[in-house]
């Protein structure tokens, strides 16, 4: 969804209560210093001076990561979802924050059944009784965006119905507008964060939420995933009932499953955790290295098992895509790490993760750090390598050198590491990297096949041909603009943000001082003229003017002292 930026009018009036609530929660959990660094009072009249700076005693005992999690939980659905998305970005956040964000819980009460009925009837155009033979009023699960009910179709088939919360879109749009404003201030005022482009991250997050708010997108994801594995008997994907689904309602086949992490229940049902672990690892690697379309949120709450050790995945709202070139680059990176060649690892890493604009990384220092990382963490055989450890160390290097990684690639690495932890709970002897080795070798060998080589040459030649055809027309357009005197060259100035902020602050204070001076002079003239009404022979209008000038002057003095400059 498109996020409107906070403008002149909305700085003071639009969504002000929600903005103040967000800032209050930040201060409550010990982030008042960050709020001050963002200089929000320059851009938005939120009454920050009225916010309590006292923190609950128990907050002092919490780590910064725990406090961030509590902030997100208290601020509700949008922020909980933001934390879940950020938990897939180890390139941006340190491990302790990633671990804490994965614990995010949604304490969301269910909404009334009458609203469920109204939403279904509005979306599907028929009454609930016409659509379903039975419909359970009590939900089996309630989340921040939707809740799920059991139902029976007229045909007798058992289904689950996912119904979106009323007015959730409007609430999310307000929060996204505020988040984008905060991200812009972080880029401007917090040192070291500009390289991560927080405003771009918020815009990407808005696209994730847009897809999650449209259940037809999730239905399409499920159907594509089912087609990918239609011939694979080791996985089962529930059926989508398209005629009973819409943007805000999703009807799926009900499946009686066992949680993949409940080893006691699995064994009681005659299932084998080791077989399930091996199939889960294979399923994950096929998604990534064969199809390039993968479940981006494979946490234990979305992984289940059916009789026959058949794996069943649920919740396809968050999916990732990774193109063939990126898959091959990831395979190259893992392979070069296994060969213990620091120089090739650096080259492979820089093909995947780009350095900041106009900044060249120190290759010698990077090679030295990579060599140390290999010596300490990488075994001789690829099959002995721990995937989660590899991801952790690579992300540390990416953060250290401020490299920019495509979000889907980071999501893929995080998803694979999550599955590795789940697999380890089922079979501690299974190594994900040993299972991945054939897939990595196959990807490398495919590039050497004559058919693939000729296809790449043909594609490159075709692109060169199109470029050669476009160059003359482009030059002709430039010459035409030059002849008309309409040729323009844009220059981008960088590093002037602080100077602009200073000028804005000076201009605001001068304007404020002029208003105070005008009030003093005007009030003096009124007092001198002795215009009625009066109080003790002093005109009341003049007294009010003096009082207003005094209050405004005091506020200006406080603002100047608070910023440390007189």
CA–CA distance, 207 with 339 (Å, rounded to integer): 39
CB 253 within 8 A of CB 238: yes
Burial class (CB in 10 A: 0-12, 13-18, 19+), 72: buried
CA–CA distance, 526 with 453 (Å, rounded to integer): 89
CA–CA distance, 114 with 128 (Å, rounded to integer): 11
CA–CA distance, 332 with 449 (Å, rounded to integer): 17
Give catalytic status of residue 297 as yes or no. Answer: yes
Select which of 91, 175, 214, 297 is catalytic: 297
CB 248 within 8 A of CB 160: no
CA–CA distance, 566 with 40 (Å, rounded to integer): 20
φ and ψ of 50, to 5 deg: -90, -10
3-state secondary structure 412-447: HHHHHHHHHHHHHHHCCCCCHHHHHHHHHHHHHHHC
CA distances from 502 to 56, 181, 240, 270 (A): 35, 19, 57, 71
Count of alpha carbons within 13 angstroms of residue 421, beta-carbon side: 12
3-state secondary structure 348-412: HHHHHCECCCCCCCCHHHHHHHHHHHHHHHCCCCHHHCCHHHHHHHHHHHHHHCCCECCHHHHHH
In DSSP terms, which residues pair with 535 in a beta bridge? 538
CA–CA distance, 419 with 408 (Å, rounded to integer): 16
CB 131 within 8 A of CB 244: yes
CA–CA distance, 331 with 321 (Å, rounded to integer): 16
Q: Catalytic positions, please?
A: 297
């Amino acid at each position: 969804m498109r996020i409107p930026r906070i403008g002149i009018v909305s700085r003071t009036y639009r969504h002000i209560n929600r903005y103040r609530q967000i800032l209050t929660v930040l201060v409550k959990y010990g982030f008042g210093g960050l709020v001050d660094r963002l200089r929000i009072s320059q851009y938005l009249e939120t009454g920050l001076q009225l916010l309590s700076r006292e923190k609950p005693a128990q907050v002092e005992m919490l780590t910064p990561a725990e406090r961030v999690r509590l902030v997100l939980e208290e601020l509700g659905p949008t922020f909980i979802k933001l934390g879940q998305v950020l938990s897939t970005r180890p390139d941006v956040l340190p491990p302790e924050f990633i671990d804490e964000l994965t614990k995010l819980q949604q304490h969301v009460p269910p909404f009334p059944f009458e609203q469920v009925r109204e939403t279904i009837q509005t979306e599907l155009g028929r009454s609930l009784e016409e659509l379903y033979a039975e419909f359970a009023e009590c939900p089996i699960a309630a989340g921040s965006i939707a809740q799920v009910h059991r139902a029976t179709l007229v045909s007798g088939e058992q289904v689950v119905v996912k119904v979106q919360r009323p007015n959730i879109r409007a609430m999310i749009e307000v929060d996204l507008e505020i988040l984008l404003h905060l991200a812009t201030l972080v880029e401007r005022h917090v040192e070291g964060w500009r390289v991560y482009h927080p405003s771009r991250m918020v815009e990407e997050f808005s696209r994730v939420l847009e897809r999650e708010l449209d259940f037809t997108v999730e239905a399409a994801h499920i159907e594509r995933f089912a087609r990918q594995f239609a011939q694979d008997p080791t996985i089962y994907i529930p059926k989508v009932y398209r005629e009973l689904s819409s943007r805000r309602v999703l009807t799926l086949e009900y499946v009686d499953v066992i949680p993949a992490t409940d080893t006691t229940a699995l064994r009681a049902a005659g299932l084998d955790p080791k077989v399930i672990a091996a199939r889960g690892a294979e399923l994950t690697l096929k998604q990534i290295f064969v199809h390039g379309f993968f479940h981006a949120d494979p946490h234990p709450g979305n992984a289940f098992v059916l009789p026959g050790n058949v794996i069943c995945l649920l919740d396809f709202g968050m999916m990732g895509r990774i193109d063939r070139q990126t898959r091959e680059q990831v395979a190259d990176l893992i392979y070069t790490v296994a060969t213990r060649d620091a120089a090739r690892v650096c080259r492979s890493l820089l093909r995947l993760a780009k350095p900041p604009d106009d900044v060249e990384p120190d290759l010698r220092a990077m090679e030295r750090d990579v060599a140390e990382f290999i010596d300490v963490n990488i075994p001789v055989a690829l099959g002995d390598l721990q995937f989660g450890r590899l991801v952790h160390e690579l992300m540390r290097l990416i953060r250290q050198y401020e490299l920019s990684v495509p979000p889907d690639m980071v999501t893929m690495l995080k998803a694979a590491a999550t599955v590795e932890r789940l697999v380890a709970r089922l079979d501690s002897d299974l190594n994900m990297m040993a299972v991945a080795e054939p897939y990595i070798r196959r990807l490398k060998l495919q590039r050497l096949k004559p058919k693939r080589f000729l296809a790449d040459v043909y594609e490159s030649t075709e692109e060169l041909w199109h470029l050669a055809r476009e160059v003359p027309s482009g030059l002709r357009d430039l010459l035409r603009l030059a002849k008309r005197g309409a040729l323009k060259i844009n220059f981008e100035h960088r590093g002037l943000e602080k100077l602009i902020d200073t000028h804005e602050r000076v201009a605001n204070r001068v304007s404020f001082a002029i208003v105070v001076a005008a009030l003093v002079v005007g009030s003096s003239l009124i007092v001198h003229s002795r215009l009625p009404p009066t109080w003790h022979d002093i005109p009341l209008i003049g007294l009010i003017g003096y009082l207003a000038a005094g209050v405004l002057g005091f506020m200006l003095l406080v603002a100047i002292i608070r910023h440390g400059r007189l």
